[in-house]
Amino acid sequence: MSVANEHEPAGATVPLLTPRDGVPEVVTTAAGVAAAAEALAAGSGPLAVDAERASGFRYSARAYLVQLRRAGAGTVLLDPIPTADALAPLAAAINDLEWVLHSADQDLPGLDELGLRPAVLYDTELAGRLAGFDRVGLAAIVERTLGFELRKGHGAADWSTRPLPDAWLNYAALDVEILVELRDAMAAELEQQGKSEWAAQEFEHIRRAGPPAPKPDRWRRTSRIHTLKDPRRLAIVRELWTARDELAARRDIAPGRVLPDSAIVAAAEAAPRTVDELRALPVFGGPRQRRSSRVWLGAIEQARALPKSELPPVTQPFTGPPPANRWARHDPDAAARLTAARAALAELSEQVQVPVENLVGPELVRRLCWEWRVSAETDVVAYIEERFATDGARPWQRELTAPRLAKALTAD
């Protein structure tokens, strides 16, 4: 066995090339799930967890491979597609355990769809942020704390591919190979810095958060939409985007692979009236797009038929504070408060070695400064703490930031 597989770095960075026990066979049957569940239940300590999706290839965020590793049980590579209805024994074996993930918010929603949910969570990526590490990717943290080199490989691959290539499976197994050791190293680092409780609160927040709510008017994120200034053309973008999204969801294909954003904007600019005019545009004349010509033209016609009252505004309506670069014109006092708050948080970030965005959510700070309602009798620290608590800030964040912000926002 090579040094790289013994997991005992000695000075120089050691490439981690293959799992110490080799790459296990992928579990694809109910019997395999039951055997894996039994082995994991008999293991000890936290459970290393990872999942591979097919972002950029598939519409859904489902997991196409789940990697699990626990001391005494080894590594399990699970194909959740053929086994989705047979995972109850696995859930019973692992859902009461502490899970260790890197960037947990990326994988937890897909795992939750499978009925797999941790009782306790440890996120090594978030631990790195709280520890003040400048690079928090898995490979970077592993190299810094454990001295191993995890080489970049197939993270952006199409994991819905079947069968999965051996090189991909080797890469996937390595992602959980030393995740528990990394967890222990990060726990020691945070304990030394006095941040263990901060981390525990953050991990629990992530565990309970659930998937993010869909953002309104997602069609406005279409690339190059800013070049369109006419409401009717924006309506065409909206209708084409919606038609594309529905088609992508039915086919389980990433929307950009159904129709690129550039084609949507080009169609909005040209506003074709016939199939021939549509097919004369870039992309729409290709063989795959020609089959959907009636769908795309129907969306354009629907936008063209809308009354003016139903056209989208050129600028996106705001449900909260306007963009900060407009504050000085609309509310100079609010702009001054935001500048003072950002300066105070930047100083605090430097002192405690935690990124500003992890000290407290930037949107919470913007809303606080824009909606500032205090008087001479107001307990400003309590006011800020209450506002932040209502918006979901954790106790450690409120305790750390409220006094600093109160001082900054009430300075003469």
- Please give the C-alpha separations between residue 6 and each of 3, 15, 16, 21, in angstroms, as whole numbers: 5, 11, 9, 10
Q: Residue 317's pLDDT is what?
A: 74
- Two structure tokens written together for 152: 């970049």
362-377 pLDDT per residue, tens:
999 999 999 999 999 9
Contacts of 162 (CB under 8 A, 6+ apart): 81
- Please give the C-alpha separations between residue 242 and each of 94, 247, 267, in angstroms, as whole numbers: 39, 9, 14
Contacts of 384 (CB under 8 A, 6+ apart): 368, 398, 401, 402, 405, 406
Q: Outline where 227-359 has alpha helix (H).
A: 231-251, 255-258, 261-270, 275-279, 287-290, 293-305, 327-330, 332-352, 356-359
Q: Residue 6's pLDDT is what?
A: 46
Spatial distance between the Cα atoms of 107 and 50, rounded to a whole number of angstroms: 7
Closest-CA residue to 66 (of 35, 107, 98): 107
Q: Residue 160's pLDDT is what?
A: 97
- Two structure tokens written together for 225: 């939409």
Closest-CA residue to 203 (of 96, 95, 124, 94): 124
3-state helix, strand, coil in the chain (%, to 5): 55, 10, 35
Structural domain spans, the chain: 3-209, 218-310, 324-409
- For residues 378 and 407, the answer to whether their CB atoms sit within 8 Å is no
At the fourth CATH level, the homologous superfamily of domain 324-409 is HRDC domain (1.10.150.80)
- For residues 44 and 51, the answer to whether their CB atoms sit within 8 Å is no
Examine domains 218-310 and 324-409 and report if their fold is the same.
Answer: yes
Q: Outline where 19-165 has alpha helix (H).
A: 30-42, 80-83, 88-94, 104-113, 124-130, 138-146
* Phi, psi torsion values for 295, nearest 5 degrees: -65, -50
What's the full length of the chain, in residues? 412
Strand, helix or coil for residue 171: helix
Q: Cα(first)–Cα(last) distance of the chain, in Å? A: 67
218-310 in CATH: which number?
1.10.150.80
Classify domain 3-209 at the CATH class level. Answer: alpha beta
Q: Residue 300's pLDDT is what?
A: 98
Q: Provide the CA 172 distance to its chain's centre, in angstroms.
A: 19
Strand, helix or coil for residue 327: helix
- Two structure tokens written together for 230: 């006419």
Closest-CA residue to 89 (of 114, 119, 66): 114
Strand, helix or coil for residue 226: helix
Looking from the CA of 120 toward its CB, the CA atoms found within 13 Å total 9
Spatial distance between the Cα atoms of 22 and 152, rounded to a whole number of angstroms: 19
Average pLDDT per consecutive 10 residues, the chain (412 residues; last block may be shorter): 43 89 97 98 98 95 97 98 98 98 96 97 98 96 96 88 96 97 98 98 95 86 95 98 97 96 97 97 92 96 97 84 90 96 98 97 96 94 97 97 97 78
